[in-house]
Amino acid sequence: MLKTFLTACRGPVLFVGRGFSSDVSVGVSKLAGFSSPTLSSEASLYVHWPYCLRRCSYCNFNKYIPRSDNQDVMSECLQRETETLLRLSHVSRVTSVFFGGGTPSLARPSTIAAVLETVARHAALSESAEVTLEVNPTPILSSKLQDFLHAGVNRFSIGVQSLQDEDLKVLGRDHTSQHALETVGEARALCPGKVSVDVMFGRPGQSIASWELELDELLSVCDDHISLYQLTLERGTQLFSQVQKGQLSVPGDDITAIMYESARKILQKRGYLQYEVSNFAKNGAISQHNMSYWKASQYIGVGPGAHGRFIPHGEGACREARTQTLEPEVWVREVQQRGHGTRRRIPLQHLGQLEEVLVMGLRLIDGITHQHWQFFSPGADLHQIFSSSCEVQDLQQRDLLILDNRGLRCSWQGLAFLDSMLPNLLLQLEEMFFVVHDRFSCVYSTVLS
Amino acid sequence: CPCLEYCCSNLESGLLPGQWRHNSRMKLIDMSKFPVERIRNFSIIAHIDHGKSTLADRLLEITGAITKTQKNKQVLDKLQVERERGITVKAQTASLFYEYENQTYLLNLIDTPGHVDFSYEVSRSISACQGVLLIVDANQGIQAQTVANFYLAFEAQLTIIPVINKIDLKNADPERVENQIEKVFDIPKEECIRISAKLGTNVDQVLQEVVKRLPPPTFNREDPFKALVFDSNFDQYRGVIANVALFGGCLSKGDRIVSAHLGKSYEVNELGLLKPEELPMERLYAGQVGYVIAGMKEVKEAQIGDTLYHQKHPVEPLPGFKPAKAMVFAGMYPMDQSDYSTLRSAVEKLTLNDSSVTVQRDSSLALGAGWRLGFLGLLHMEVFNQRLEQEYNASVIVTAPTVPYKAILSSPRLIKHGREEITIVNPAQFPDRSLVKEYLEPMVMGTIISPDDYIGKIMSVCLNRRGIQKNMVYIDDHRVMMKYLFPLNEIVVDFYDHLKSMSSGYASFDYEDAGYQAADVIRMDILLNGKPVEELTTIVHRDRAYSAGKAMCERLQDAIPRQMFEIAVQAAIGSKVIARETIKAFRKNVLAKCYGGDITRKMKLLKKQAEGKKKMRYIGTVQVPKDAFINVLKRKDK
């Protein structure tokens, strides 16, 4: 199923539009045999809605409780920034759109529609392109979900988090399990097969048994996609200080490890294939948008605090890590004055780009294929870089990492240790990068310029 | 006396001591007018905080050497650590002019370091004196250091004037202290002077008694020049300033002198009195005390205890000279290797003023380049570290202190090539049992004085530290003085703090060198998954191996982060494992989290970890962070 999907999304989309002009180099044309998500002519789009009704006790994300109704200004500015950045990127095709937050389901459907229309005016946005909206399962009028659908949304990602009402209260969520189940039902009715649920483990007071039961219950109502997140205690959150003070306790590392492992087993048994550390899908319902992150494709971030990775053709020839201004009010002012609120631009040098390819790619169950790697690193293949490393050999011997003729990837058990393996892999990459630096850089520059 | 007149008039006009030397009228002082009969050389010795420096200040004020102001507290204690800890590390000296029965006397107060770590320095200072003021706190009574100091003076056959200080305190019980003095030191209690240095009560009487009771020095001006170096300082601009006591003859500016130890000759550029500021003079005479600047470039050229003489008239060196002997060693490394050269220059500057610190370059796989420093004792080490941190703002890792062991080699081949006896400072150089006839460990004689309520606890602690009781006497109704022979190694780490906390702060402790003694010491290795960790090798007594090994394994278990596999932490003697702890493998390390495209933070974290790995020490496949080594090797904070 997974295969079918991947084949399906490899459309004949190479070399369309302005990004690749007639001076396509030899280095690139060699790559023409496979679809690359990194073409500078296409990108996915992330739109950040920074507002929430209330603050969740665990969340340190960029979100604000709105003080006044500023829907019109927000709508206007999101459109304006989308337009500016699309122009800057010279992107001719937007492969997916994701409305995240915050609580983007608090936005008016008309705002969503307006942003999508803006996208369509400046780049190709095909009917089949995935357009996801994060939904907070508060008692939401089912008509609103329908309105979002009409606005152009074709996938809902629902932040269920838990089916235990007590836990939802501790997490500071403003919904109950009843609301969550209803919202999932409504969403499924509107977009069958295109609904994802987020669920969280490692919550205060959670036990392995209760987690397994809860997952079971969730699987009986959910659709084809599920994301598992481990609760992380972030400094500065209410939950963090409650745990510091001993008012709450979260399960230890060994317990959360078992929770993760048992969830992976349960999901597998129920037909959900794990395709990434946190993501599981059946019937090929993989999230295209998230996939573009793992594949190090270009993405444009719009809205306060949004992140992007793309080549601003108007301003340089190198891919940049870009961050928009965090505070909504300041961001609004900047967008009104300059057309965008880009606060920080960090050029991604070749090594930096390869590091992201490695770190993101290994989160996928399929890892990094040779072709994928070669696109970014035509000068040195995965074997050349990693085979000589004692650490890599040791990891291979312990069945945690696989380097074969498909590419580099974690084994099933190795995926759970990825963060321990990455520092060594990054060091090896850096070392070999400088060894073969000349070869690397000259070819690379022809690829991405 | 022209000098006295001058001093007094100066005092009245409000001139500060430092201004004197700029006044050419000072040449008026003719030191030849002070024959030995009107000279008294003395030291003040006391337990920490019994008021030595306060008394010294009062004596200086009364004799007009310093003006009487609030700010003038403890003029003699120059170092920051000295003021903070209420101890004197570097001896200071002051010449006082005192009028008694219409005669002006030259009283040379030769201050001594306040701790027996510096007992050699104390003994040299004392040998320049004819008497001492033995100060005892009227509340606390005799303490361990009082005893140690007393014996130094007693053995040097000096006249001892007991002074009971702090009689103004509410709980002062001078009578009890007088009884203790009589009992322990066999000095009639009538000889004690009760004072309050703080308030100045009876301080003048102290000076009178110094003149009356202490004998004058018995040196002769007509003899060839001979002087004892009892202290030295380094001045960036003027070189070494040696403090000397003239045991015969006289010394003038321009004289050519020789140091007996190194045999080098020098020309005297400047000499004079210490008031305590330097006051240049034309000449110094037998029995007098002062300073000499003679173009010496390093303090090692003016070692404490050395003898100076005229080039033309060589003399027999004074007895008792010993080069400094390090008793406690510790590794010292910069927290960050990029600070190495800064730290090196700080260590160099400090050792310029302290020739008793031995410095040896060392390097550890875990901690990088650094030094192995040798100190006279624990306090000496602490003072050095504090000065390094406070005066030079250097951030350093100091390893737990070790002591120098010795091995008597058995193999004739080894003896042929080297010495029969070798000193082992670094555990990595511990010779194998098969090559060794006998190992020796340094011993100390410890003195503990405590209220008798704590005897039981103290005895059991001492026993645990392999101490052997040599003596126990009551010094009054409920205070006991105990003498224990300890292996130095047993008291270098936290013994004193332990003793203090166990006795609610009432027990005092001091020790003196007691030579070497045969001991069953062995080399203990620490293994991680079977691979030895070189920098954690230690030398331990066989009886202590198990507990030391277990403690080390436990500390490592806490300090090494869990890894993808299980880690066995073992302590071993030869091939025999004597202690083991296990660091369990972690089961998962991947962040299941959505980044919303924000991968910058994650990348930063990973890059930081990758950078950290570069600095990580690998023992086999086990990664040991530097912090873990620091935690295990570092001296525990107090």
Contact residues, A window 317-336, toward B, CB-based 8 Å cutoff: 321, 323
SS3 of residue B238 by DSSP:
coil
Measure the CA angle with vertex B633, ends B630 and B636; round to 5°.
90
Q: How close A308 gets to chain B, by Cα (Å)?
A: 7
Question: Which residue on chain A is closest to B587 by alpha carbon?
Answer: A257
- Binding-site residues from annotation of B: 46-53, 111-115, 165-168
**Identity of the residue in B564, B594, B598 whose CB atom sits nearest the CB atom of A229:** B594
Q: Do A416 and B590 touch (CB under 8 A)?
A: yes
Is pLDDT of B368 > 70? yes
Contact residues, A window 17-46, toward B, CB-based 8 Å cutoff: 46
Q: Do B606 and A426 touch (CB under 8 A)?
A: yes
Which positions of chain A have pLDDT values less than 70? 1-39, 140-141, 437-449
Q: What confidence tier does B135 reach under pLDDT thresholds 50, 70, 90? A: very high
Is pLDDT of B435 > 90? no
Whether chain A has a CB inside 8 Å of the CB on B601: the answer is no
Q: Do A307 and B600 touch (CB under 8 A)?
A: yes
Q: How close A293 gets to chain B, by Cα (Å)?
A: 7
**Identity of the residue in B564, B599, B609 whose CB atom sits nearest the CB atom of A356:** B599
Q: How many CB atoms lie within 10 A of CB A166?
A: 12
Which residues in chain B have Cβ-Cβ distances shorter than 8 Å to A416? 587-590
Each residue of A196-223: pLDDT tens digit? 999 999 999 999 999 999 999 999 999 9
Residue matched to tokens 């609301």: A179
List CB contacts of A56: < 8 A, sequence separation 6 or more: A171, A172, A173
Distance CA B100, CA B83 (A): 33
Give pLDDT, residue B23: 42
Give pLDDT, residue B166: 95
Question: Closest Cα partner for A292 from A116, A89, A95, A104?
Answer: A95
Q: How many CB atoms lie within 10 A of CB A311?
A: 24
Q: Do A427 and B564 touch (CB under 8 A)?
A: no
Distance CA A324, CA A343 (A): 5
Q: Do A417 and B590 touch (CB under 8 A)?
A: yes
Number of H helices, E strands in chain B: 17, 33
Whether chain B has a CB inside 8 Å of the CB on A100: the answer is yes
Q: Do A356 and B610 touch (CB under 8 A)?
A: no
Q: Do B587 and A416 touch (CB under 8 A)?
A: yes
List CB contacts of A425: < 8 A, sequence separation 6 or more: A358, A362, A386, A391, A392
Is pLDDT of B459 > 60? yes
Is pLDDT of B83 > 60? no
Q: Do A321 and B600 touch (CB under 8 A)?
A: yes
Lowest mean pLDDT among A146-160, B185-199, B492-506: B492-506
Whether chain A has a CB inside 8 Å of the CB on B410: the answer is no
Assess contact for B109 and B39: CB atoms under 8 A: no
Give pLDDT, residue B4: 37
Q: Do B586 and A228 touch (CB under 8 A)?
A: no
B297 burial type by CB count under 10 A (0-12 exposed, 13-18 middle, 19+ buried): exposed
Range of A405-414, B90-99, B402-411, B621-630 with top mean pLDDT: A405-414
Which residues in chain B have Cβ-Cβ distances shorter than 8 Å to A228? 592
Select from A427, A428, A429, A433 the residue whose CB has the most chain B CBs within 10 Å, as the one to mutate to test that interface.
Answer: A427
Question: Closest Cα partner for B509 from B443, B451, B448?
Answer: B448
DSSP state of A337: H
Q: What confidence tier does B595 reach under pLDDT thresholds 50, 70, 90? A: low
Farthest-apart Cα atoms in chain B, separation: 95
Q: How close A104 gets to chain B, by Cα (Å)?
A: 13
Question: Which residue on chain A is closest to B607 by alpha carbon?
Answer: A423
Distance CA B481, CA B459 (A): 12
Residue matched to tokens 């030259």: B106
**Identity of the residue in B599, B600, B614 whose CB atom sits nearest the CB atom of A360:** B599
The four Cα atoms B618, B619, B620, B622 give a dihedral, to 10 degrees, of -70
Each residue of A21-48: pLDDT tens digit? 333 333 333 333 333 445 678 999 999 9
Give pLDDT, residue A432: 92
Question: Closest Cα partner for A190 from A130, A134, A127, A148?
Answer: A148
Q: Do B590 and A426 touch (CB under 8 A)?
A: no
Whether chain A has a CB inside 8 Å of the CB on B596: the answer is yes
Q: Which residues on neighbouring strands pair with residue B258, listed in sequence order?
A: B265, B309
Give pLDDT, residue B298: 84
B293 burial type by CB count under 10 A (0-12 exposed, 13-18 middle, 19+ buried): buried
Lowest mean pLDDT among A224-238, B100-114, B290-304, B381-395: B381-395
Assess contact for B610 and A423: CB atoms under 8 A: yes
Q: How many residues in total does chain B contain?
A: 638
Q: What confidence tier does B472 reach under pLDDT thresholds 50, 70, 90? A: very high
For residue B483, give Cα distances in angstroms to A365, B476, B519.
72, 16, 20
Q: What confidence tier does B339 reach under pLDDT thresholds 50, 70, 90? A: confident
Q: Count of A–B CB contacts within 8 Å?
A: 103
Contact residues, A window 379-438, toward B, CB-based 8 Å cutoff: 394, 398, 400, 415-420, 422-424, 426-427, 430
Each residue of A102-112: pLDDT tens digit? 899 999 999 99
In the structure encoding, which two tokens stand for residue A88, read together?
């800057």
Give pLDDT, residue A7: 31
Mean predicted confidence (pLDDT) in B337-351: 86
Q: Do B590 and A253 touch (CB under 8 A)?
A: no
Question: Which residue on chain A is closest to B618 by alpha carbon?
Answer: A391
Mean predicted confidence (pLDDT) in B136-151: 90
Q: Do B592 and A100 touch (CB under 8 A)?
A: no
Give pLDDT, residue A87: 94
Give pLDDT, residue B51: 86
A129 burial type by CB count under 10 A (0-12 exposed, 13-18 middle, 19+ buried): buried
In the structure encoding, which two tokens stand for residue B240, read together?
């070494």
> What element of type H or E holds B461?
helix B455-464
Q: Which residue has the higher pLDDT, B83 or B385?
A: B385
- Binding-site residues from annotation of B for GTP: 46-53, 111-115, 165-168
For residue B614, give Cα distances in angstroms to A313, B94, B362, B607.
37, 56, 21, 11
Question: Which residue on chain A is closest to B598 by alpha carbon?
Answer: A307
List CB contacts of B361: < 8 A, sequence separation 6 or more: B369, B370, B371, B372
List CB contacts of B206: < 8 A, sequence separation 6 or more: B55, B59, B133, B161, B163, B193, B195
The four Cα atoms A32, A37, A41, A47 give a dihedral, to 10 degrees, of 170
Q: Do B589 and A48 touch (CB under 8 A)?
A: no
**Ranges of H-type helices in B485-544:** 488-491, 495-502
Mean predicted confidence (pLDDT) in B409-429: 73
Select from A133, A354, A420, A424 the residue whose CB has the most chain B CBs within 10 Å, as the one to mutate to test that interface.
Answer: A420
**Ranges of H-type helices in A152-303:** 165-170, 177-190, 208-221, 238-244, 253-269, 288-294
**Ranges of H-type helices in A206-364:** 208-221, 238-244, 253-269, 288-294, 328-338, 350-361
In the structure encoding, which two tokens stand for residue B266, read together?
């020098």
Distance CA A294, CA A276 (A): 9
Percent of chain B with pLDDT over 90: 42
Mean predicted confidence (pLDDT) in B437-456: 93
Report which residue type is found at B433.
R
